Amino acid sequence: MKEKEFNLLEEPWIRVRRPDCTIGEVSLTDALLGAHAYAGLAGELPTQDVAVLRLLLAVLHTVVCRYDPQGRESPLRDEDDALERWKVLWELGRLPQEPIRAYLSRWRERFWLFHPERPFYQVNEAQAGTEYGAKKLNGELSESENKYRLFQSYAGAEKDSLSYSQAARWLLYLNGFDDNSGKPKGKGLPSVGAGWLGSLGLILARGKTLAETLLLNLALLKDGQQLWEPPRPYWELDRPRCGERVRISMPSDQAGLLTLQSRRIILYREEGRVTGYRLLGGDFFEKENAFCEQMTLWRKSQEKKNAPVAYRPARHDPAKQMWREFPAAFAEASSDRLPGIVRWVVAIRELLGNTALIQFEAVGAVYGDKDFFVKDAFSDSLTFHRDLLNAEDAGTISRIALEVNGCEKVAERVGRLARDIDEAAGGSGNGAAEAARERFYFAIDRPFRQWLYELDPEQDVDGAVLAWRKQAAALARRTGRALVEEAGPAALVGRAVKEGTERAYLAAPKAFNRFLKELSDYEKGRYAT
């Protein structure tokens, strides 16, 4: 067996989608040099695509921070220099060919998937870790010895082993999204929880091509404001960290963060296939105020009344459509801490040329209790006019956030109507409210996305807001009317119930009339506060 095998710079392993929607595998070098010719990444899961994207970004970030587009060594001097360099690349329409080619050639030896000393994203010391089979490495299966997945996409030899190209993709995924099931070998070591990416509410920008996507997420300025420390990706370290569950300082450069080794891994191969791996906990740092991370939502926390406010990454709720997270992602007055990637897009907004629309994508993994076992992965996207992100005039963004909040309150009224109808029929109301809310959200999901897509801050925003409230109210009335029509005779007749010390009469018609009054208040803007 060869000591060195499968160089990631030369062998095809990154799945890309071409403009004609066909999917193929390319090398890391080809993915970067030909990024303008690909529509985007097309891995097995959206979470895997994020892990691969961050690797590509780490290379690109290192190259762009050190070299100008012509390949001359020229470290970024200041914030204006960073924006100017980014503008040149955006107008070029492709990634800088010669600097990328030269940089990857210099570090070729560090990109062998199998290597006696420096296997890519692996350490030999992981041989002391927990052993797993290939079906645990494959995120589409994500099986353990005690938990098996039904309706599998793989069977036989394909289930028990992986090709080198598959293993390379899942290696990146595992490093970022591994669950918390790995047992520590050392005593008294802290729990590192899920992999770093698994602890985030991931948000990223999408372009028309892979090159555009990479450039839109190439946050050369921290929070769109200040230069990072000089980049130093994982493969440039003289010696990779190999200790188990190592607490490190918060990365101060993007390439270091993007190549964070959350896990110590070593892959095993037999006859040209990967059959399993061993794993230990890897590097971690405090999540509190970890503003080096640009691709996450944040939630505010305050331990005590007079204690300083802190922020921690906020995971997405997989049950929520992305537009329902609009206030937290895009409205500073609502969230107090916007994602770094949103701030970066704000900084480059005026450099986007003819690109009028901007698309953001939310990605996340769903874990079981205490982050044991990855249950699912999900993604959602939202497209709107780039000028909504005008930092000097956040009024329209704030109004959108208010309308989202208004929709949430209408959904609560729909839920209360369903509960009242169920109780009028003699039920407990349990479950009816939640099902009705989800029914309403389904009804307004596509219309809201379309409304946001068409909203132009240069046009009549007041008129657009009123039109939306009218449409949302109509959809709510339709949902409420359907709930009443589906109610049985018992709900229509109603019954007397005790509310505290008083008695009240519940009936579907009475509840519906109150609901209509509440919708009238909504249309007048009384909920959007």
Q: Is 162 or 495 the better-scoring residue by pLDDT?
A: 162
pLDDT more than 90, % of the chain: 78
Mean pLDDT of 4-33: 98
- Distance between CA atoms of 77 and 68, rounded to whole angstroms? 12
pLDDT band at 143 (very low <50, low <70, confident <90, very high): very low
Model pLDDT, residue 204:
98
Residue 321: inside a domain, yes or no?
A: no
Model pLDDT, residue 191:
81
Mean pLDDT of 187-195: 85
Length of the chain: 529
Model pLDDT, residue 421:
92
273 in the same domain as 134: yes
Q: What is the pLDDT of residues 59-118, one digit of tens each?
A: 999 999 999 999 999 999 999 999 999 999 999 999 999 999 999 999 999 999 999 999
CA 12 to chain centre: 26
Paired tokens of 189: 């070591």
399 in the same domain as 268: no
Q: Choose one of 248, 275, 295: the last residue of a domain.
A: 295
Residue 477: inside a domain, yes or no?
A: yes
Model pLDDT, residue 144:
45
Number of structural domains found in the chain: 2
404 in the same domain as 271: no
Q: Is 150 or 218 the better-scoring residue by pLDDT?
A: 218
pTM score, whole prediction: 0.93
What CATH number does the domain containing 437 carry? 1.10.132.100
Q: Is the pLDDT of residue 188 over 90?
A: no
Q: Is the pLDDT of residue 425 over 90?
A: no
Spell out the alpha helix ranges (H) of 178-323: 210-216, 254-258
222 in the same domain as 89: yes
What's the whole-number average pLDDT of the chain?
Answer: 92
228 in the same domain as 104: yes
Residue 353: inside a domain, yes or no?
A: no
Residue 316: inside a domain, yes or no?
A: no
Domain that holds residue 58: 5-295
Residue 28: inside a domain, yes or no?
A: yes
SS3 state at 480:
helix
Q: Choose one of 279, 295, 311: the last residue of a domain.
A: 295
Residue 450 burial by Cβ neighbours in a 10 Å radius (0-12, 13-18, 19+): exposed
pLDDT band at 142 (very low <50, low <70, confident <90, very high): low
Note whether 162 and 149 are within 8 A (CB). no
- Distance between CA atoms of 473 and 431, rounded to whole angstroms? 23
How does 226-240 read in b/e, with b if 16+ C-beta sit within 10 Å? Answer: ebbeebbbbbeeeeb
Q: Is the pLDDT of residue 46 over 70?
A: yes
416 in the same domain as 286: no
How many other CB atoms are found less than 10 A from the CB of residue 91? 9
Q: Choose one of 262, 295, 328: the last residue of a domain.
A: 295
Quickly tell me which residue has 């208040």 as its tokens. 521
Residue 222: inside a domain, yes or no?
A: yes
CA proximity to 278, closest of 248, 242, 247:
242
pLDDT band at 151 (very low <50, low <70, confident <90, very high): very low
pLDDT band at 192 (very low <50, low <70, confident <90, very high): confident
The one-letter amino acid code at 84 reads E
Mean pLDDT of 473-494: 92
421 in the same domain as 280: no
413 in the same domain as 266: no
226 in the same domain as 109: yes
Q: What is the pLDDT of residues 335-374, one digit of tens each?
A: 679 999 999 999 999 999 988 999 999 999 999 988 888 9
pLDDT band at 302 (very low <50, low <70, confident <90, very high): low
Q: Is 142 or 333 the better-scoring residue by pLDDT?
A: 333
Residue 276: inside a domain, yes or no?
A: yes
Question: Which strands form 40-41's sheet, in the order they lie side by side?
Answer: 23-26, 14-17, 40-41
Residue 424: inside a domain, yes or no?
A: yes
